[in-house]
Structure 1
Amino acid sequence: MSDRLHRFLFEHADVRGEVVQLDDAFAEIVRRTDHEPAVVRLIGEGLAAVALLAATLKYPCALTLQLQARGPLTLLLVQAASDGSLRAMAHARQPVPDDAPLDAQASDGTLAITIEPESGGERYQGVVDLAGGSLSAALEHYFRESEQLLTRVWLSAREDHAAGMLIQRLPASEVAGGDADAWSRAEQLAATITGHELRELAPGEVIRRLFHEEDIRLFDPMPFRFRCRCSRERVAAMLQGLGEQEMREILEEQGQVEVHCDFCNEPYRFDAVDIEALFTDPAVRSPDSGESH
């Protein structure tokens, strides 16, 4: 089944892992954009990355991966929520070289991981420089610097298929018993995976082929899907924040105010009646005045 993340654990050892494949969500996000192949692949890798990262968290939250750089790619922003929803956006100021190292695609860049608890608790953010020439290498750098956890990440995206795998060494306090060589074996075995295998083989088959000699515990798969959190109400609130004068100037020049969501490209149009309603106190609005539509 597509758009599923499969978690696994080495029994009596210090290793856990995940394999994710995203087909429908990736394809839907790409369908709504007009990016060149190099940017599409980075979006696919970013989607697989946030799915892997979100599944490692122990409490409901929203997780954001943000890559900012001087160019050619200037922004990659990918988000995952605990309900399995995914969305992504990217900006480039000039053509992004295909199959080039990440530091050539996004020069002088930084990678930020932001975690926002759904309960409203303290927000966490870790920021690292891009390192290693790929998004997977940058994520490994993030785990070393911000989490102090030995972590390996593999990401691959082509056409409508995005996939990823993560293995992580657990803190010693979380391990009952002990297999001192488990992490070394897991790392060596996982490193034999190819991007094609990661995208095309079922996650269970990937795990079986790599670790068939290990005592593995599999967990129920976690579903993911594309869902944008934009809405007409949120766009209206944003327009109110820009101010009445600016909205009326746009109306006079263009006849309507049109906003496209950066994530899903959904258009939101506000005519003169809509703008009047946004900036009219409901307490004094006449009964027959127009409402947003």
Structure 2
Amino acid sequence: MTTNTAAAISHADCRTRFIFDDMPVRGLHVRLQEVWQHIVGRKHYPAAIRKALGELLAAGSLLSSNLKIDGTLIVQVQGQGRLKMLVVEATSEHTCRATARWDEHAEIGDDENLRDLLGDNGVFVLTLQPQDGEPWQGVVPLEGGSIAELLMNYMKRSEQLDTHITLAASDEAVGGLLMQRLPEEEIDAEAWNHVATLAQTATAAELAGLDAQHVLYRLFHETPPRVFEPENIEFACTCSRGKVSDMLLMLGGQEIGEVVAEQGSVEIDCDFCNEKYVFDETDVNALFGSDVVNAVREEAQRLQ
């Protein structure tokens, strides 16, 4: 088996499950190339934030594989520093999207670490939004200096299962490897340490550049796991003009009418895909079913 470039990119956006038949350990590998290019092509992310967002994207794609119901898994890292938020949404339909918010006027070095960017009181938030039923959310303080470390600490605390996660992000692609002891199964500490140590030897270049077949062969060719058919992952944004309309209705005719009276229109940009939704005076009046813009103008004249 060789690791030539043509073979390495044969599965550009895939998540692959594997399991070891001789020990109670399961795993996942993910590599996203076109999805990642779609995301980073929408905004100019500073290098350090781009790397962290890419690693969280890989992590969200790995964690969402455990969705047992139709719905969306939202993985967020929030802080009060120059980096305000990283968020990834991954669905049971094998789609995902991601974005970041940061102080765009601040200096951000290319090699700055996640903890420094987030500042104090950072939290990790995991939200499950089923299509039917109530959402569930877990919030914990950040523990660890990287996306992989904070996720491993979270999973050890919440699931109490031995877990190893390695994540990587380059300009071209993101990749990740997750290995976990099977629930309700015992594993010899030495055996777990052996496979975890092998997994730790995966380099960032390998995870971002190679497909599952080549990564798993490189790591575990002496005790190869059983590998399942890969699942394709696609970028998809759930924004729509209808959803923006609902948001404007919630804000109310007075507030939206004031904006349109002053600016001529209201424009909403989607954080995830950068799609722009513009509502002019005619659109807003039709939305609220009355001439809210003119009402604002008349009220302003009355108060003068």
Q: Where does residue 227 of structure 1 map in the other structure? A: 236
Q: Which residue is 2:60 aligned to?
A: 50
Aligned to 1:187: 196
For residue 250 of structure 2, what is the aligned residue in structure 1? 241
- How far did residue 146 of structure 1 move? 1.5
Residue number among 261, 267, 281 corresponding to 1:272 in the alignment: 281
Of 60-69 and 98-107, more deviation after overlay is shown by 98-107
Q: Is the 8 A contact 1:14 1:179 kept in 2?
A: no
| Alpha-carbon distance between aligned partners in 2 of 1:195 and 1:209, rounded to the nearest angstrom | 14
Distance 2:81 2:277 in 1: 29
Specify the SS of the correspondent of 2:137: strand
Is the contact made by 1:10 and 1:216 (CA closer than 8 Å) also made in structure 2? yes
Tell me which protein shows more helix as a share of its residues: 2
Q: Distance in 2 between matches of 1:60 and 1:164?
A: 23
Q: Gaps spanning 5+ residues in structure 2: where? A: 1-10, 291-304
Deviation at 1:95, TM superposition (A): 3.2
Cα offsets for 1:97-144 (capped at 9, x unmatched): 3223321121221111111223x2343222222222101000001101
Instruction: State TM-score, norm by structure 1.
Output: 0.90
Q: How does 1:207-226 map to 2 (within 5 A)?
A: 207-226=216-235
Within-5 A mapping of 1:14-93: 14-93=24-103
Instruction: Name the counterpart of 2:302.
Output: none
Give the Cα–Cα distance (whole angstroms) in 2 for the partners of residues 44 and 105 of structure 1. 15
Pick from 82, 88, 99: which aligns with 2:111?
99
Give the corresponding residue for 1:167: 179
Superposed displacement of residue 157, structure 1: 0.6
Counterpart residue number, 1:129: 141
1:113 corresponds to 2:126 = yes
RMSD, matched Cα? 1.7
Name the amino acid aligned to 2:116: A
Range with bigger deviation, 45-54 or 97-106:
97-106
Q: Does residue 10 in structure 1 map to residue 20 in structure 2?
A: yes
Question: C-alpha offsets along residues 226-271 of structure 1, whole Å, 9 cap, x if unaligned?
Answer: 1110000000110111110111111111111111111111000111
Maintained 8 Å contact 2:52/2:114: no
1:164 shift after superposition: 0.7
Partner amino acid, structure 2, of 1:110: V
Shift of 1:209: 1.2
Instruction: Note the residue ranges of structure 1 that are not aligned, 5 or more in a row.
Output: 282-293
Partner Cα separation in structure 2 for residue 14 and residue 269 of structure 1: 54
Residue type at the aligned position of 1:86: C
Amino acid at match of 2:40: V
Contact 2:152–2:163 (CA<8 Å) still a contact in 1? yes
Distance 1:42 1:213, change over 3 A: same
- 1:14–1:182: 8 Å Cα contact kept in structure 2? no
Give the partner amino acid of 1:136: A
Secondary structure, counterpart of 1:71 in structure 2:
coil
Aligned residue number for residue 150 of structure 1:
162
Secondary structure of 1:154 counterpart? strand
Runs of 4+ in 1 over 6 A off after TM superposition: none
* Letter matched to residue 114 of structure 1: T
What percentage of aligned pairs have identical amino acids?
Answer: 42
TM-score by length of 2: 0.87
**Shift in Å at residue 160 of structure 1?**
2.1
Aligned pair count reads: 277
When residues 180 and 45 of structure 1 are mapped into structure 2, their CA distance, relative to the original with a 3 A threshold, is closer
What is the rounded CA distance, in whole Å, between the counterparts of 1:13 and 1:97 in structure 2? 43
